[in-house]
Chain A
Amino acid sequence: MSFMPKPKVANPGLPVNALGLNRRDYEGGMSTLCAGCGHDSVTAAIVQACYELALPPQSVAKFSGIGCSSKTTAYFVAGAHGFNAVHGRMPSIAAGAHAANRHLHCIGVSGDGDSLSIGLGQFAHAIRRNPDMLYLIENNGVYGLTKGQFSASADVGSRSRKGDVNEQRPIDPVLLALALGAPFVARSFSGDKEQLVPLIKAGLACGGFALIDVLSPCVTFNDHEGSTKSYAYVREHREAPVAVDYVAPRREIEVRYAPGEVLPVTLHDGSNVLLRKLDPDYDPTDRARAAAFVQERALANEYVTGLIYMEPERRDFHTRHRTAEEALNALPFERLCPGAGRLAEIQRGFR
């Protein structure tokens, strides 16, 4: 960490978005993470994506649990709403907030410990509920905040800094999300913003639960030789069958692609996600084959990154529950609280 906040001075040539804000306007407080932590790069990618999407800062709601990764919600979009939940309980808080106000852009940031150990149940049920939220797991294979114990995502054979070898099988959040029906599943790397930023934008726009498992090295406890989540290892062992380009609503799709090479998916807000196939045999809309592919490649010690699965049509939480369009805080009191008479009526219906 540094003791000096990033100075307010900015490059005078910085462009502004449709709201007249520049990228620096989407920054948050000073990071207290270790210098070189992958999580800080993910923060920078979120800043970049929110700036590019021209999200009004007050339309963003940030959620997290406990962990170094979970601390990062303080470091982006200072003007957003935020809730820092207890360990592993972020998914239910986020789902609740989304239930109360469907117009918020919900961003959950969690860690492999927070989501795959203590919070695994919450994580699984959030996927089932399918709230419209972007769920980022900053996956480093360790509990960084508590000094580097193996987490549930540590690979078999991966070594700790002191030399211990992990023997338990890992939980892969990507496979879990595929199995539980998440409509948007991706994996990326903190050291590759060219891949990560468009994924974040597409995930925010996709309209349902979007999981991005971001391999985000813990530079202090898990960046050594023998680790399978170090910068060097991840850089060497990743492949991407599909790349994503995000095209905002009312923007022409400018690039011309060879037929069959690109699959445009139009989202509910009119934006387009262009799925660019890098592997011609891969079909990002086939859930079962996607899962098989990820598993196959894992056996060959390769991380599949990029967009792994995307379902164009899926009923989200609010459609399913036929909830009000307005946020609860915008409903007139009479509609929000129909009164004791109506309550008695409902109760009578159950007798």
Chain B
Amino acid sequence: MLPTDTQDPDHYHRVVDCQWACPAHTDVPEYIRLIALGRYGDAYLVNRQTNVFPGILGRVCDRPCEPACRRTRVEARPVAICRLKRVAADLREDITARLPRAPARGNGKRVACIGAGPASLTVANDLVPLGYSVVIFEQHAQAGGLMRTNIPSFRLPAAVLDEEIGYITAMGAELRLGTPITSLAALLEPGDFDAVFVGSGAPRGKELRLPGRDDSDRIHIGIAWLESVAFGHVTSIGERVLIIGVGNTAMDCCRSSLRLGAKSVRVMARKPRGFFKASEWELEDAEEESVEIVVNHAPKAFVIRDGRLQGMRFDRLEYEMDGERITAQRIVEEVFVPCDDVILAIGQENAFPWIERDLGIEFDAQDLPRVDPVTLASTRRGVFFGGDAAFGPKNIIHAVAQGHEAALSIDLHCRGESLTERPPRGVTLQSRRIGMHDWSYRNDYDARERRLVPHVSLRERFARLDVEVELGFDAARAAEEVRRCLNCDIQTVFDAPLCIECDACIDICPTDCLTITADGEPAEVLARLRAPRQHPEQPLYISAALRQSGRIMVKDEDLCVHCGLCAERCPTNAWDMQKSWVHIPQAGDEARCQSEPQRRRA
């Protein structure tokens, strides 16, 4: 088999499952180790470097990292990565002096950002320290985008938002609140800006066109309703509320209703449980609050009598399933469900009524702008899109990741360089051996199960709309949870010419990751692995031919617990445990960038 090219920056990166899965590629194990050392401020800054909003994301991130966590493959539940991020934020000392600032003299370039959501804020965060003057135009009176207007304050307190957005304005980003952009042409025309970033989100809630829709004012669109709640325009709701749809918006709507006076809240789902869009933890939180989730009900009509909403009619459905696939459905009966209010939470759409269609910005058949997925450039030079505005509704961490890429593009654009010749990704390795049997990381496997986050009691949490439900880990609980991290960024790095084929590493590996075997066709070699591959999507490492026998060392990265025993038992240091620093370029990085080979090898 062909030896693995470990110079490929993705090879070691893929081993760090969480970091690979995180759209912003946060160095998760690094910050977890810093928390273990009680260095909360440092842990916060490691986070901030890539995800910009550790306090916010530590509460409400969609956490694609957790299902990816290696711990789910060797045990059952992932490390509480997201909740540990919050620990870094909650327990940090004052780090404001360590944040980047605008330089004394700007570079004379001006960038406009439309919308003050996480995407635009990230662009500002990256460009202001490079000397750009960045102006953020926001229609609302407060910054934060959907994080402010839609994510309820019992999940994300306003103070956390204020603080982390404040870091960016304090750097020198100019925030123009209450300033809707009603014409992009008008913004572009005077030539005030060298680049424009559109981070206006996906602001329109989807409609449900059914009989009776327009005959009552008690039928609300979820994201608009949440916004009214956030701004205090709506302060109450009827006793019986139906939520249509079962995504994350629905979860926020039902839990907000309970806090505004609803006594019975039902979430009406068209399909069975396995098909829900809401994250498992959001469903759990809602059900803990006695929200009833009713499956297999397809909405049919709003029932209005004497101008008053009475309830809704549904078709109750039955599905035939083949494993996890629906093969057929049939209507069993029609049912009437009484209610006082209905909230529609069936999705969001993009809308750009304020972008003239003759500016050279192309839109596709779905009326979405044509945006390059790598550079985030539109078809008009100097206009970039990111976050929900670019590719439809996703989540905060995607918006942040795209904000970084867009900032990089804007910087290249303003310096007159090609957007596609982006500085390369890289990996730096650094040995963690500090003695014969000593490593500068804690390598013993801790079998304990995931720690649970305490919640405010069911009695207290409904007292006000903004009582934060999750309490977060305290330092003691955090100290237990961090021990579950497997340190996937402490890589096993192999130096084939040193190996004397004593088998010590093979014998000691607790999870049978390693095999020394004759070289051959991939299929034969894989058939001879010490343990059959369970997750073929996980990377393999293939060494060059070993000196004594010409055989090869094969490592299946899948279940390695990074215990370092292979390196500890190796008499010749052919295995070493080395920290990988994954380098994803951000705006301004080339200037600081070392030469390529230097950066890749420690």
Q: Would you call B414 an interface residue if the criterion is a C-beta within 8 Å of the partner chain's C-beta atoms?
A: no
| A43 and B502 alpha carbons, distance in the complex (Å) | 13
Q: Are A35 and B570 in contact (CB under 8 A)?
A: yes
Q: Are B500 and A4 in contact (CB under 8 A)?
A: no
| A12 and B70 alpha carbons, distance in the complex (Å) | 13
B502 to chain A, nearest CB (A): 4
Q: Are A9 and B510 in contact (CB under 8 A)?
A: yes
Choose among A4, A7, A36, A190 the residue that contacts B570 (Cβ–Cβ < 8 A): A36
Choose among B445, B561, B568 the residue that contacts A2 (Cβ–Cβ < 8 A): B568
Could you say which residues of chain A place their CB within 8 Å of the CB of B444?
A: 4, 7
Choose among B501, B534, B563, B569 the residue that contacts A35 (Cβ–Cβ < 8 A): B569
Q: Would you call B565 an interface residue if the criterion is a C-beta within 8 Å of the partner chain's C-beta atoms?
A: yes
A-B contact pairs, 26 of them (CB 8 A): A2-B568, A4-B437, A4-B563, A7-B444, A7-B445, A8-B510, A9-B74, A9-B445, A9-B447, A9-B511, A9-B561, A11-B512, A35-B504, A35-B571, A36-B502, A36-B572, A37-B504, A40-B507, A41-B503, A44-B506, A44-B507, A190-B503, A217-B502, A219-B571, A232-B500, A235-B548
Q: Would you call B531 an interface residue if the criterion is a C-beta within 8 Å of the partner chain's C-beta atoms?
A: yes
Could you say which residues of chain B place their CB within 8 Å of the CB of A125?
A: none
Interface size class of B (residues with CB under 8 A): 20 to 34
**Best-buried of A6, A37, A193 by chain B (most CB within 10 Å):** A6
Could you say which residues of chain A place their CB within 8 Å of the CB of B565?
A: 2, 4, 6
Could you say which residues of chain B place their CB within 8 Å of the CB of A288?
A: none
Q: Would you call B508 an interface residue if the criterion is a C-beta within 8 Å of the partner chain's C-beta atoms?
A: yes
| A192 and B333 alpha carbons, distance in the complex (Å) | 70
| A44 and B502 alpha carbons, distance in the complex (Å) | 12
Choose among B502, B507, B531, B569 the residue that contacts A231 (Cβ–Cβ < 8 A): B502
Q: Are B559 and A11 in contact (CB under 8 A)?
A: yes
Q: Would you call B532 an interface residue if the criterion is a C-beta within 8 Å of the partner chain's C-beta atoms?
A: yes
A217 to chain B, nearest CB (A): 7
| A34 and B571 alpha carbons, distance in the complex (Å) | 8
A34-B571, A36-B569, A41-B507 known; A12 and B534 CB under 8 Å?
yes
Could you say which residues of chain A place their CB within 8 Å of the CB of B549?
A: 235
A232 to chain B, nearest CB (A): 6
Q: Would you call B443 an interface residue if the criterion is a C-beta within 8 Å of the partner chain's C-beta atoms?
A: yes
Q: Would you call A350 an interface residue if the criterion is a C-beta within 8 Å of the partner chain's C-beta atoms?
A: no
Could you say which residues of chain A place their CB within 8 Å of the CB of B570?
A: 35-36
Could you say which residues of chain B place their CB within 8 Å of the CB of A37?
A: 502, 504
A298 to chain B, nearest CB (A): 22
Could you say which residues of chain B place their CB within 8 Å of the CB of A10?
A: 510-511
Instruction: Find residues 163-212 in chain A having any chain B CB closer than 8 Å to their own CB.
Output: 190-191, 193
Could you say which residues of chain B place their CB within 8 Å of the CB of A193?
A: 503
Could you say which residues of chain B place their CB within 8 Å of the CB of A4?
A: 437, 443-444, 563, 565, 568
- Contact indicator per residue, chain A 55-84, by CB within 8 Å of chain B (1) or not (0): 000000000000000000000000000000
B376 to chain A, nearest CB (A): 41
| A289 and B506 alpha carbons, distance in the complex (Å) | 37
**Best-buried of A11, A12, A41, A191 by chain B (most CB within 10 Å):** A11
B552 to chain A, nearest CB (A): 15
| A37 and B505 alpha carbons, distance in the complex (Å) | 11
The residue on B at minimum CB distance from A236 is: B548
| A3 and B93 alpha carbons, distance in the complex (Å) | 36
Could you say which residues of chain B place their CB within 8 Å of the CB of A8?
A: 445, 447, 510
| A3 and B437 alpha carbons, distance in the complex (Å) | 7
| A44 and B510 alpha carbons, distance in the complex (Å) | 12
| A44 and B505 alpha carbons, distance in the complex (Å) | 11
Instruction: Find residues 476-500 in chain B having any chain A CB closer than 8 Å to their own CB.
Output: 500
Interface size class of A (residues with CB under 8 A): 20 to 34
Could you say which residues of chain A place their CB within 8 Å of the CB of B445?
A: 7-9
Interface of A toward B, CB cutoff 8 Å: 1-4, 6-14, 24, 34-38, 40-41, 43-44, 190-191, 193, 217, 219, 223, 231-232, 235
A70 to chain B, nearest CB (A): 19
Q: Are A2 and B437 in contact (CB under 8 A)?
A: yes
Q: Are A191 and B563 in contact (CB under 8 A)?
A: no
| A231 and B548 alpha carbons, distance in the complex (Å) | 8
- Contact indicator per residue, chain B 512-553, by CB within 8 Å of chain A (1) or not (0): 100000000000000000011010000000000000110000
**Best-buried of A34, A38, A231 by chain B (most CB within 10 Å):** A231
A3-B437, A12-B534 known; A44 and B503 CB under 8 Å?
yes
| A191 and B506 alpha carbons, distance in the complex (Å) | 11
Q: Are A11 and B503 in contact (CB under 8 A)?
A: no
Q: Are A38 and B502 in contact (CB under 8 A)?
A: yes
A2-B569, A35-B569 known; A40 and B504 CB under 8 Å?
yes
Closest 4 CB pairs of A and B: A36-B571, A7-B445, A44-B507, A2-B568
Choose among A3, A9, A223 the residue that contacts B500 (Cβ–Cβ < 8 A): A223
Further 10 A-B residue pairs, CB within 8 A, beyond A8-B445, A40-B503 = A2-B508, A2-B565, A2-B569, A4-B437, A9-B511, A12-B73, A12-B74, A13-B534, A35-B504, A191-B501
Q: Are A191 and B437 in contact (CB under 8 A)?
A: no
| A223 and B548 alpha carbons, distance in the complex (Å) | 13
A305 to chain B, nearest CB (A): 15
| A4 and B504 alpha carbons, distance in the complex (Å) | 15
The residue on B at minimum CB distance from A220 is: B571
A108 to chain B, nearest CB (A): 21
Choose among A6, A9, A11, A232 the residue that contacts B508 (Cβ–Cβ < 8 A): A6
| A260 and B531 alpha carbons, distance in the complex (Å) | 35
Instruction: Find residues 57-96 in chain B having any chain A CB closer than 8 Å to their own CB.
Output: 73-75
Could you say which residues of chain B place their CB within 8 Å of the CB of A24?
A: 510
A2-B437, A11-B531, A36-B502 known; A232 and B563 CB under 8 Å?
no
The residue on A at minimum CB distance from B439 is: A4
Q: Are A13 and B532 in contact (CB under 8 A)?
A: yes
| A234 and B510 alpha carbons, distance in the complex (Å) | 28
Could you say which residues of chain A place their CB within 8 Å of the CB of B568?
A: 2, 4, 35
Q: Are B534 and A41 in contact (CB under 8 A)?
A: no
The residue on B at minimum CB distance from A48 is: B507
| A13 and B504 alpha carbons, distance in the complex (Å) | 22
Q: Are B563 and A41 in contact (CB under 8 A)?
A: no
The residue on B at minimum CB distance from A219 is: B571
| A46 and B369 alpha carbons, distance in the complex (Å) | 66
Could you say which residues of chain A place their CB within 8 Å of the CB of B504?
A: 35-37, 40-41
| A44 and B503 alpha carbons, distance in the complex (Å) | 9
B101 to chain A, nearest CB (A): 45
Could you say which residues of chain B place their CB within 8 Å of the CB of A232?
A: 500, 548
B429 to chain A, nearest CB (A): 22
The residue on B at minimum CB distance from A5 is: B444
- Contact indicator per residue, chain B 328-358, by CB within 8 Å of chain A (1) or not (0): 0000000000000000000000000000000
| A63 and B568 alpha carbons, distance in the complex (Å) | 28
| A13 and B569 alpha carbons, distance in the complex (Å) | 24
B549 to chain A, nearest CB (A): 6
A2-B569, A35-B571 known; A14 and B531 CB under 8 Å?
yes
